[in-house]
Structure 1
Amino acid sequence: MLNLPFLFPESDINLRLARLLILIDKLSRTKRGKLVLNLGKIAIFDFLVRYPQVLYYTLDNNFSFTVREYEIGNIDSQYPEVALVFNYKETDIVLKVLLAYGFIEVIKNQKDIYYIITESGQKIVEELDSDYFFRVREIVEAIRPLQKENESELRMSIKHNIKGV
């Protein structure tokens, strides 16, 4: 019998770093160039990448996004960790690591602190070519319509939709 290693994405820091890099690369700015990714939105969007079935219900089926069977057939997906939508501590730690490596940078304005990807971060994203990262990119693209929503609306929608999962 061949024993293949099983990797739970949330327990691997490298996968989490790469997932946030993809998210920041694709969603840090709107199509018009407006900065939108602050700590709260990054945590919320990362939650939606982690739980695509919640994203599916949050989008109200208005967009062509499908959840794959393997994404809903495990205990983690059936009981999403809703605290992640309100507690940004883990996301903040991962962002600090990305900042320390120079893969992202911070832009401060009068309203908030926003995160954008650097050139070296973009090079890393371009090299991510596994099936897992292709799927992360698909999910992140599905999140794009939610960029314009404010954090409290997103949290309320997610909380409402988790009960429906």
Structure 2
Amino acid sequence: MDLVRAVADLDQSSELHVARLLILIDAFAEEDHGGAIEGLTKLAKLDFLLRYPILLERALEAKRQSIQGVQLEDHERYSVESEMVRYRFGPWDHRYREFLNILAAKGLVSISIEGRKVVITATEQGRYCAKQLASDQLFEQYSRRAKLLKRHFNMKATNLMRFIYETFPEIISLRSNVPITP
């Protein structure tokens, strides 16, 4: 099997996406288990920066923050593990509901509706699994970068969306459902 096919197969596998999202959701959980990601739009924007670490560097630079914690690997400068598309409110993956349903069905996240907003919280079991994943060399970079996102991009979804549009204007010019490439 060639490398391109292997990467394509990885992108189709929900396990990688579910693990990455669990790590991201856990990073936003507070020690008292009260933290949450409020809204699918916010989840998508944070996941965008997690999937595209070269753009995470640009976002940190735009905020005049250190990029040291990103620790980009050479291959990440030239490829993206899993592309997102431009959708109504910016970067998006049409499989988010599927991924969140998997996490909820496994008891790893709690999903509630507050008004028109979806609120996603890691359960105790989810936090434990996220810590286990983060200790694995394959997922350590996601954990480190998710903590950077919590530290520097924990803002309301609308503000985060506005920041993404201002920092990455090339995304706005894409047609809907066109893959985003850095």
TM-score by length of 2: 0.71
Counterpart of 2:137 in structure 1: which amino acid? D
2:66 match: 64
List gaps (5 residues or longer) in structure 1: none
TM-score by length of 1: 0.77
Contact 2:84 2:92 in 1 (8 A): no
Contact 2:35 2:121 in 1 (8 A): no
2:142 match: 136
Q: Distance in 2 between matches of 1:61 and 1:109?
A: 30
**Residue 86 (structure 2) aligned to one of 71, 76, 83:** 83
Instruction: Note if 1:124 corresponds to 2:129.
Output: yes
Deviations 1:47-91 (A, max 9, x none): 1111011111122262222433221123x47xx644264445311
CA-CA distance at 1:96 after TM superposition: 1.1
CA-CA distance at 1:123 after TM superposition: 1.8
Identical-pair percentage: 22
CA-CA distance at 1:150 after TM superposition: 3.1
CA separation of 1:87 and 1:107: change in aligned 2, threshold 3 A: same
CA separation of 1:123 and 1:117: change in aligned 2, threshold 3 A: same
2:177 match: none
Contact 1:40 1:88 in 2 (8 A): no
CA-CA distance at 1:159 after TM superposition: 3.5
Deviations 1:117-152 (A, max 9, x none): 011111211221322210001111221211114333
CA separation of 1:54 and 1:149: change in aligned 2, threshold 3 A: farther
2:176 match: none
1:107 match: 112
**Residue 162 (structure 2) aligned to one of 148, 153, 157:** 153
List gaps (5 residues or longer) in structure 2: 174-180
CA separation of 1:22 and 1:159: change in aligned 2, threshold 3 A: same
Contact 2:84 2:91 in 1 (8 A): no
CA separation of 1:91 and 1:57: change in aligned 2, threshold 3 A: same
Q: Distance in 2 between matches of 1:120 and 1:28?
A: 13
CA separation of 1:138 and 1:119: change in aligned 2, threshold 3 A: same
CA RMSD of aligned residues (A): 3.2
Q: Identify, as 1 or 2, the structure richer in strand.
A: 2
